Structure 1
């Protein structure tokens, strides 16, 4: 049985009207005590709480207890939606219908990132409908906003079932041809949002990708792919994040910030297994399936560095977020896809429906399975999910 509870989270300034507006929060819970909270500001996933293998309940999403926290750390986009076009638009321009379209440049006045100055992370989404198993939020992005053509109507569906799956479905229609690449930017720590770097280093993960997107010295995609074989990015077999992060020591890039190519032959009708993220000590895991071709994976590299006595980001319940306190998984089209003809297209026409579907499945792996032989696991079958 799914329940939805509405309450008031706070008050924020609407960036379009510049008037104060109430921001509501919607809590979606199932019969297994899995609970997801979503606030209207940025359509942000504010928390996900669930049991571990020892019946301890914890919040596994980094974020804040109030509007002020999200406003103060807006540039890191904790838990929010990104769009119209997530990730990079190189030089803030692209060709469309034989003409050059110029969009705003909110990154050093050179490029656009995550939709511009007022992207989907800053708007206060309207409640469209309360569903039996979740909610639908909506927003109409006006023609010319941040330079993009067409009036774009967007619906966000957040729903849940009793199999501990969170469904994120995004639909959009336009009245003019326009690019669309909408994503969510949650920071997770399956050890608990207060567990910090130690909890992240304990994670073991699998990412089902043979390639990453190649970038140049300015971090812009070249249009080519890099194979992951014999690199730190090869996650096709289980690997500990801690082991891999140590390979970034004394490097210019202090951790993961890469877009994996999950499906180079993009078909929005096909759901692919993206990855499995496990925290063995707590037993919590998260599996992701999506119809999106790429996943940007990042490990909180630019969070404050405690080894340099930098002040932490103060999160929920006085949590202190330092470097590598969480990881983000951003399902999306490839970055700067409009300027790379070999990438899956981000353009939709008035006759087309943009459709993004990502499924997060949460569960518990019994701790003793870490010591079981392959033969013992074969006899047992699939991982036990015990939420009773």
Structure 2
């Protein structure tokens, strides 16, 4: 794939490298407590690795449907959509070939601190109906944030549930695993699952190992197994991640009802030429989204069917600060 990398900069000191391959975030530099610019996302120094390790989805835009669809069959409002099986017997993160993370997007607009990617997912791609026009916009803002905005329109009714799949590591150059981080998730419920597929039920997590409603040191939890869908409820700050060593704090704002949190236990282990690493436990994915399965009594959690004339949106903001 002949992808292109794009660098964004903002006067507050942040910078980002993005790629047209999967409309993905490759690097994001923010200042630590000493004012030293630090990369806070996992990425590959060799661009070919993004194709070699496609299933890891590092930094990518994910869809048309993020998450798993049981038996590769999406059912909603009387419609049934047989989708591509790429995680037998299920459909995962858009279906492999021609999924949004595996195509080369076009750059439709670019400034010093913002870039907009566009892509047309054609009718029938991985079983999805309709020509879906998708926009992914990345902006560095004056409050030291990375704003990610996804929009989509269609010419036929189709399910849409997009998300972003960076793995966050605030320790500096990804030298440490996540055990030195502190995590807070503004949720008191989680989706029940079987084979990582939502069962249709939810459970309270108060007082359990999954209760991150107060800042919690990951070193004191079984964090390596994190692969859970937290019900985030009201729009606003849904999660915070902090590394005391660098002083870098991340705050995620979202309007989506669910936050998938994944510690990358299935990531392929790679050491980049600069010594930074990718692998299990080295980054935390924070993925705002809906749920592709029907959830008992909770229709507000469920993935919508996008119809002609409607515009889908998923807007998330990763805000950074640092303190001595």
Question: TM class by shorter-chain length?
Answer: over 0.9
User: 3-state SS of the aligned residue for 1:91?
Assistant: helix
Q: Which residue of 2 aligns with 1:346?
A: 304
- In structure 1, how many angstroms separate the alpha carbons of the residues matched to 2:161 and 2:62? 8
**Residue in structure 2 matched with residue 15 of structure 1 by the alignment:** none
Equivalences for 1:33-72 in 2 at 5 Å? 33-72=13-52
| 2:284 aligned residue (287, 312, 327) | 327
**2: CA distance, partners of 1:243 / 1:187:** 21
**1:177 maps to 2:157:** yes
User: Distance between the aligned counterparts of 2:155 and 2:295, measured in 1?
Assistant: 19
Match of 2:182 among 185, 189, 204: 204
1:362 corresponds to which of 289, 314, 320: 320
After superposition, the C-alpha distances for 1:88-141 in whole angstroms (9 at most, x for unaligned) are 111111234534220110012x11000002211100000111146401100011
The residue number in structure 2 matching 1:244 is 221
Q: Could you say what the CA RMSD is over the residues aligned between the two structures, in angstroms?
A: 1.9
Moved over 3 A (4+): 335-343
Could you tell me which residue of structure 2 aligns to residue 93 of structure 1? 73
Partner of 2:53: 73
Question: In structure 1, how many angstroms separate the alpha carbons of the residues matched to 2:26 and 2:261?
Answer: 19
Choose the corresponding residue for 1:235, options 212, 219, 230: 212
Counterpart Cα distance in 2 of 1:114 and 1:228: 26
Residues matched between the structures, number? 322
Residues 201 and 296 in structure 2, CA contact (< 8 A), matched pair in contact too: no
Picking from 65, 85, 91, the partner of 1:112 is 91
**Counterparts of residues 1-388 of structure 1 (less than 5 Å):** 12=1, 21=2, 23-96=3-76, 98-108=78-88, 110-118=89-97, 119-131=99-111, 133-197=113-177, 200-216=178-194, 218-245=195-222, 254-263=224-233, 271-303=235-267, 312-315=269-272, 317-336=274-293, 342=299, 343-366=301-324
Larger mean CA deviation between 48-57 and 166-175 belongs to 48-57
Q: Assess, with a 3 A threshold, how the Cα gap between structure 1 residues 49 and 133 changes in structure 2: closer, same or farther.
A: closer
Verify the 8 A CA contact 2:292 2:303 in the aligned structure 1: no
Which one has the largest radius of gyration? 1
Structure 1 segments unaligned to the other structure (5+ residues) = 1-11, 13-20, 249-253, 264-269, 305-311, 367-388
Map Cα deviations across residues 349-370 of structure 1 (whole Å, 9 max, x no partner).
112110110001011023xxxx
Q: In 2, are the aligned partners of 1:84 and 1:120 still within 8 Å (CA)?
A: yes
> Per chain length, whose mean CA-contact separation is higher, i.e. which structure has more relative contact order (CA < 8 Å, sep 6+)?
2
Confirm or deny: 8 A CA contact 1:205 1:238 kept in the other structure. Answer: yes
* Greater fraction of residues in helix: 1
Q: Which blocks of at least 5 consecutive residues in structure 2 are unaligned?
A: none
Q: What's the TM-score, normalizing by structure 2? A: 0.94
